[in-house]
Chains A and B, each alone.
Chain A
Amino acid sequence: MSDPPFTAALESLNALAGGLFLLTAFAIVATRQTRSCLLLFIAQSLLLATSAFVLSVQHQSLHLAAVGIVNLVSKPIVIPWILRRTLSAEVYARREIDQVLNIPTSLLIALALAVLAYFLTLPILEGVAPQFRSANVPIGVAGLLLGAYTLTVRREAVPMLIGILAMENGAFFAGIALSRELPLIVELAVASDGLVLVFVTGVLVRAIQQRIGSTRVGELISLREESAPDAVAE
């Protein structure tokens, strides 16, 4: 630990993981193909795991290493497997031609959100001990906001689901940078919760696909106060 080049290398590795993490969050906003969305999510989870390992070495914390291992197993492997079991392959081949906003506009808004995340996290960074002051916190919050933004502009179910998962990734990315002793049981439970989440939403999306013949859930807008209920009758 006392070796300065080693510490410096860890710090730059962490910074690299953070930069790429932010990049994947932007790419998820901009990608049309469902399959690439999923691949980007896997890449993002791997970066989250990398960051957890680096932090675990830096802070000499086994808990953070466990966070990394759980992320390494659950997100890149188990979650795509569950999705593949619950949904048909056809869903992955989908391209989303029209989002709610076009992609250049989306990216501009995403950029604004990332800047906003930086300013939102300034007070947090002032409040914590110096060794936790890193760029990971604003990057994680940016990941959270971009995930929420993905959820709002997408119309396809699976990219929306990936938006939710990316939000959780962002929350963890910021969270593990803030503290080192997060209880292990919590991490395990959060990971298994992610699996239940994917399973339930997968079942729901399959039901929607069977019933409505499409997974464009963004177009389901019949439940509103203004429209007469007769309009929704099949």
Chain B
Amino acid sequence: MTLLAMLLLPLIAAALSVLPRMRPAAPAFTVVSSATALILACQTALRITAGASAVTFRGLLSVDGLGVLIVCLVSLVATTAAVYSWGYMRITSAQQPARLRLYYANYNLFVFAMLAIPMVVEPTLVWIFVELTTLTSALLVSFENTQVALEAAWKYVALSLMGAAIALLGFLVLFAALQAAGGEPYTWEGLTRAAPRMPPALLKTAFALILAGLGTKVGLVPLHTWLPDAHSQAPSPVCALLSGIETTSVLYVILRLLPMLDASHFSGVRNCVVIFGLISVGVAAFLLLQVRDYKRLFAFSTVEHMGIILVAAGLASEAAHYGAMYQILSHTVTKSFCFFAAGAAVLTVTTREIAAVRGLVRSSPAAAASLLLGGLAIAGAPPLSVFVSEFLILKAGLAEGRYVVVGFLTLFIGIAFFGVLLHINRMVFGRRSDGSPSFRAESPPGAAARVAERPTGLPHTCGLILLLGGALVVLLGVYLPSPLHELLRLASHGLQR
């Protein structure tokens, strides 16, 4: 019942946002529905950590440890991004308030689709909700209606849908494999039970198709090309959702397949997953060095982190899987904060170009401080949470004796650390070569032209979210509450047989 309520809340909010008379209240509905969903999600998580093996609703919806972790994170980012949107969108779309209806309707539908992915038990329905996340977020990516935003949205839709069609065949082959094994329902659990009896050729083909297809949506190299475009051109709260949690919730579907492959003893598949992950981490680390746009910087860092999670999930030990779950948590919290910080910077300097922003700490201390914290946190500086999770993964890798993997991973993480902080440091503390300390205001690219008369101060809701988000980023690095630890431990069981 709780699960159904969580799914209905965003749908109701979406319906209310569409009504013309409700327009001024749409942000409030969105915040209330997301916050209620967050409370319900935490409640469900507590029930699971207290010992319930799974919370289900009539055999249609069900969450276990891994599922409820994703549900909690989706509703967390949905809530913070909704509060952030309230102030942010009012400023950025001050000239077309009517379009806000479209924004909030799509926003809630997007949240609905993401919440449904970990809840729905039937894999083909999961595929449909993955597809719906693309379709509902496409118009959010193109929301600013500039040429570049439309281009990004088109690339996003075309590549994601191409991947989805490949994954669809994968799911149909998986279903055929299940029927060949016979006797089990078409759910994740049934699949895992039936896996040892499935024809190996079918299972392997299905996994390859789903990995390639959904890997496009997750942003795994070589099919990542749309990701930095879409994740940088969307309005900042949407970027926080896309980069912070959407990629992870799709990655969740791939992670669900791993226990099945273990069950049929393909030792090679986990190695394949590790190699895929390492390639993503490596390519993203080098691309990070040469970005020109600070939102793209964070977008490439998402590709890197998805790779790290995949590597950790591909390792065999329980400790590595715990690290993967910790990484999912820390990435979501930190990356969404990074995009909130980037949004604050966009509001104050009206450009996304790294080269145009110098000495932000002197012109806008709040944006500079959050950008610096976000940069440090996402790059993995101790004692923040990304550092802890990456450290756990490396340690687990060493304990397993995977020295080559750990070596490459450390190298790439190091390069990415350098890349992120190089750019952030220049933006925050750098001086312009002509000596003027502030940003270059005369070159507004893209969207900036129509927002030239923006007030420079941050809206209150944005400031609030930056404060809360920053506190959460710091806190999770030094202190992990015991229910949360238990939740991560239970979630990591979802990666094992």
Contact = CB atoms under 8 A, between A and B. Distances in A.
Interface of A: 123-124, 126-129, 132, 140-141, 144, 147-148, 151, 157, 160, 164, 167-168, 170-172, 174-176, 178-183, 185-186, 189-190, 193, 196-197, 200-201, 203-205, 207-208, 211-212, 217, 220, 222-223, 225, 228-230, 232-234
Nearest to A145: B166
B437 to A, nearest CB: 22
Nearest to B351: A229
B293 interface: yes
A223 B142 CA distance: 14
B157 A201 contact: yes
B199 A127 contact: yes
Contacts of B233: 223
Contact of A232 (B125, B148, B161): B148
A217 B156 CA distance: 12
Nearest to B290: A225
B137 to A, nearest CB: 10
Given A200-B157, A222-B151, A234-B146, A181 B165 contact: no
Contacts of A200: 135-136, 138-139, 157
Contacts of A205: 154
Contacts, number: 168
B154 A183 contact: no
A78 B233 CA distance: 32
B184 to A, nearest CB: 13
B101 to A, nearest CB: 14
17 contacts: A123-B204, A127-B205, A174-B172, A175-B173, A175-B176, A182-B124, A182-B172, A183-B186, A185-B125, A186-B125, A196-B132, A204-B154, A217-B154, A222-B148, A230-B445, A233-B444, A233-B446
Contact of A175 (B151, B168, B287): B168
Contact of A234 (B128, B169, B449): B449
B54 interface: no
Interface string B175-187: 1110110000010
B147 A144 contact: no
Contact of A179 (B162, B169, B176): B176
B162 A164 contact: yes
A45 to B, nearest CB: 14
B353 interface: yes
B263 interface: no
Nearest to B148: A232
B202 interface: yes
B390 interface: no
A176 B172 CA distance: 8
Nearest to A125: B201
B271 interface: no
B183 to A, nearest CB: 12
